Chains A and B, each alone.
Chain A
Amino acid sequence: MNTELRIGVFICHCGINIAGVLDIKGLCEYAKALPNVVTAQANLFTCAETGTSAIKKAVKDNNLNRVVVAACTPRTHEPLFRASCKEAGINPFLFEMVNIREHCSWVHRHNKDAAQAKAGDLIRMAVAKAAFLEPIETFKSKVEPLTLVIGSGIAGMTSALALADQGFEVILIEKEENMGGLLRHLHKIAPANVAASELIEEKIAAIKKNKRIKYFTSAILEEVTGYVGNFSVRFSCGNDSYTCKVGVIIVATGGIPLRPEGLFNYDGKNVITQSELEIKLKKRDIEAKSIVMIQCAGARIPERNYCSRICCMVAIKNCLYLKDIIKDAKIFVLFRDIQAYGVENEALLLKAREAGVRFIRYRPDTPPVVENCKVKIYHPAMGKEIFLPADLVVLSTPIVAHDDAESISRILKVPINGNKFFLEAHAKLSPLDFAFNGIYLCGNARYPATVREATCQALGAASRACITLSHDTIERVGTVASVQEELCSTCFTCIKVCPYNVPYINERGRAEIEPMQCQGCGICVAECPAEAIEFKYISDKQIMAACEALLAS
């Protein structure tokens, strides 16, 4: 890049959000005096049509080749301004954004002078960094129009069917002998009041009938390599091994209710879990007259610090079905907090209370104690310990991740959280995607979900997958690392540190990074002892330039 640097700085008032604290005119004057800055302008709202047009016009008028916008967070607005740059005819990566709202005007409201100085510093750092921005191109690769769905519970089957209905071929693998997942053992689904078996058999029949879905039971996932649009998958089914090429992968491996060994005298006979109760309800094999349910059994404790979210609703549902079968049953539910979200579930809770189910709160420091046919509990309203008769104690245990969640996460190179549930790219912004492109997530594998939620997520994951599948090729932005071979000393450091096992040694004996596979974290760039790995998106030069500009020269 020998051409002269021409930087344009655009500073946003954001109404009074920024301008209420900072002197925008002063910042413009300051920015104009910075090296390589050709123009600095203020906009009332840079993200509005007038603002983006002003950028485009200024690029043309001043022949700009770098754009810096000082406004809000790049996490929401960077794509918009990159698009404006592209429309103005400069590479969208010759753009730098600096956050003077969330990181400055909003958090230093009472210290305007310091805020002004900080905004100036941030703009100076961005301008310094902008001088080292490099154009980044996109590249294309082919998409295999095939999906691998892992797990055939309600979530897996729903997404497989949704994809098949849209005309895409699906390979569905299930590690158990039968499809159906958790629902196979359940009695009825609330609030819909549908038999679980009915729901599941209908789906299984639809899958078996569907020509676009190939299903494998007793199948174990063994290896996955490749990248979005082009994954190579190997799995075994009995003694046979299969390999296939798929474009996308949906993880619907589900979860399993915790077996509460050692908790509340659990014995599987008089002290059982909700799922064991459902098996009894299915067979109508219940005689108990006094039943005590204990919520949060094994959940919300230090080793399992999460709320499993669905157990309260499961308990309420089962109370009502129990009341249907045994009219004079006395049922107590001992809870910490009742989580019956949504109008219908709230109505069911009311119905249970009307039917005579008693709800008693307990605190974690005075948990219920299960003794022979009795449960001792401190009643907060009565202010003393009471004994509840209990022919049957039912423990509401949380959904926990499967034992193989960890190995699947390793095979797919996608993260799991501390409780071994799979971790989405962003809880709000992309709840069904993994950070790794082309792999999606739904159902209990992500976090305990009701049938309805799992179904919604499955349809969502399928539609996310369709975005990729419906194209013959996909474009990827080259915000990736690449090896400068002449500098590589084949030390294997990059191979060791890459979380996605992307680098390999090529036929010339040097490290090579497949751009389609690289996720752009930059770990190898920071570790390479020869500094042989280039990362144009956030290069060493850019970081150094920002550091150098920390202090005004």
Chain B
Amino acid sequence: MDNFEPLIAVFSCHYCSYAAADLAGSSRIQYPPNIRIIKVPCTGRVSVNHILMALEDGSDGVYVAGCLKGTCHFIRGNYKAEKRVQYVKDLLSEINIEPERVQMYFMSAAEGTKFANVALEMTEAIKKIGHSPLNKSRS
């Protein structure tokens, strides 16, 4: 298991975290290559189904990255996303899957460093948890 490289899906909002990822890039901040960004207009667009689907389809972890609280481009999309992420966590706990596989993060478009740190933090965390039991093709 030493060389387990997790696959992590990220739902990034166009206005903040996607831009933060761009900034991490233009600042050449290096982070683990385990994340795959799926861009959405607002994290409020991300439904419970989308998160579950990303898990079912083979990712070992999923996180939703929205704007800082109070600065959502669409006023309160990130609060909605936070609630849904919590809902998914509860759901996962009930079926004995580690709820830590799913997280919500908040960052501003100016926080390239935070984006990279979150990618690192999540990768490390999932490495510790191990393969997703839903990831049939890999386990």
Chain A nearest Cβ from B79, distance in angstroms: 10
Cβ of B22 < 8 Å from any Cβ of A? yes
Q: Across the interface, do B47 and A526 meet the contact criterion of CB distance under 8 Å?
A: yes
Q: Across the interface, do B25 and A107 meet the contact criterion of CB distance under 8 Å?
A: yes
Q: Across the interface, do A75 and B45 meet the contact criterion of CB distance under 8 Å?
A: no
Q: Across the interface, do B44 and A544 meet the contact criterion of CB distance under 8 Å?
A: no
Cβ of B116 < 8 Å from any Cβ of A? yes
Most-contacted residue by chain B among A108, A111, A535 (CB, 10 A)? A108
Q: Across the interface, do B25 and A497 meet the contact criterion of CB distance under 8 Å?
A: no
* A109 and B40 in contact, given A417-B70, A538-B45 (Cβ under 8 angstroms): no
B20-50: CB near A (< 8 Å → 1, else 0) gives 0111111011110100111111101111111
B-binding segment of A4-12, A118-126, A457-465: A118-126
In the complex, which residues of chain B have a beta carbon less than 8 angstroms from the beta carbon of A523? 42, 44-45, 74, 76-77, 80
Q: Across the interface, do A107 and B36 meet the contact criterion of CB distance under 8 Å?
A: no
Chain B nearest Cβ from A499, distance in angstroms: 4
* A499 and B45 in contact, given A75-B14, A103-B21 (Cβ under 8 angstroms): no
Cβ of A490 < 8 Å from any Cβ of B? no
Which residue on chain A has the smallest CB distance to residue B46?
Answer: A526
Q: Cα distance A163–B97 when bound, in Å? A: 60
In the complex, which residues of chain B have a beta carbon less than 8 angstroms from the beta carbon of A210? none
> Which of B26, B42, B57, B75 touches A413 (beta carbons < 8 Å)?
B75
> Which of A75, A103, A115, A415 touches B75 (beta carbons < 8 Å)?
A415
Cβ of B19 < 8 Å from any Cβ of A? yes
In the complex, which residues of chain A have a beta carbon less than 8 angstroms from the beta carbon of B70? 415, 417-418
Q: Across the interface, do B41 and A103 meet the contact criterion of CB distance under 8 Å?
A: no
Which residue on chain B has the smallest CB distance to residue A419?
Answer: B70
Most-contacted residue by chain A among B5, B15, B38 (CB, 10 A)? B38
In the complex, which residues of chain B have a beta carbon less than 8 angstroms from the beta carbon of A118? 33, 36
A411-422: CB near B (< 8 Å → 1, else 0) gives 001010110000
In the complex, which residues of chain B have a beta carbon less than 8 angstroms from the beta carbon of A423? 71
Cβ of A13 < 8 Å from any Cβ of B? no
* A551 and B28 in contact, given A523-B77, A526-B44, A544-B53 (Cβ under 8 angstroms): no
Chain A nearest Cβ from B133, distance in angstroms: 15
Cβ of A319 < 8 Å from any Cβ of B? no
* A435 and B37 in contact, given A106-B25, A497-B80, A521-B45 (Cβ under 8 angstroms): no
Contacts A/B (CB < 8 Å), 26 sampled: A102-B22, A102-B25, A107-B28, A107-B29, A108-B31, A109-B30, A121-B36, A122-B37, A125-B38, A415-B73, A521-B44, A521-B74, A521-B77, A525-B45, A527-B80, A538-B40, A538-B45, A540-B47, A543-B50, A543-B53, A544-B50, A546-B38, A547-B56, A550-B7, A550-B9, A551-B57
